[in-house]
Copies of this chain bind each other. A is one copy, B any other.
């Protein structure tokens, strides 16, 4: 490193550079921004990081993120607990909640089965899901993993484990995205859209 380097600044740049999507230039920009914060603002940023890391863990029922024993959805009494929507990631819960049309509960796998990346069923929250379904009261499990090869494989794997437990296992519909353009849709999406066509 050049002779002008200030160790604590270089260290901060290094730390920012480790974050996803932050390259060296962005890390520098963030670090210089931090130098311009007031002490209170810097403290508030640091506290938010530690706080989130310490307080947030998995909900005991659905494995979504929460800072209490159960997440707000599992605690809610107005939610339909007989339908479980299985997603890969807590962000997917956020996306589905934004539709404001889904009033059942979720189960977060925290990943997909991916032998290439060394992720097997044991690293995912699958046993928690099986326990929930085995405990009874569940009528339908909706697979809402991403429409990728790995997402599909995980959905297939789960449906084979779940069906013997006597629940209905469904999958999100494939088709043209609303506002999309037929001309730019890929062949597989189009053939899935044809296959899933419905009466109007």
A interface residue numbers (CB < 8 A to B): 2-9, 11-12, 14-15, 18-22, 26, 28-35, 37, 39, 42-56, 64-67, 71-73, 76, 90-91, 93-94, 97-98, 100
Contact = CB atoms under 8 A, between A and B. Distances in A.
B53 A34 contact: yes
- Copies of this chain per assembly: 2
A37 B53 contact: yes
Contacts of A21: 26, 29-30
For the residues of A in contact with B, the DSSP-based class is helix
Nearest to A37: B53
Nearest to A44: B15
Nearest to A11: B48
Interface-centre pick from A26, A37, A50, A98 (highest chain B CB count, 10 A) = A50
A42 B52 CA distance: 9
Contacts of A19: 30, 33
A53 B11 CA distance: 12
B97 A4 contact: yes
A4 B72 contact: yes
Given A19-B30, A20-B29, A29-B21, A52 B11 contact: yes
Contacts of A76: 3
B53 A2 contact: no
Contacts of A4: 64, 71-73, 93-94, 97
A15 B94 CA distance: 19
16 contacts: A2-B100, A3-B76, A3-B97, A4-B94, A6-B71, A9-B65, A11-B52, A12-B49, A15-B48, A15-B49, A20-B30, A21-B26, A28-B91, A34-B49, A45-B46, A49-B49
Nearest to A33: B20
Contacts of A3: 72-73, 76, 97
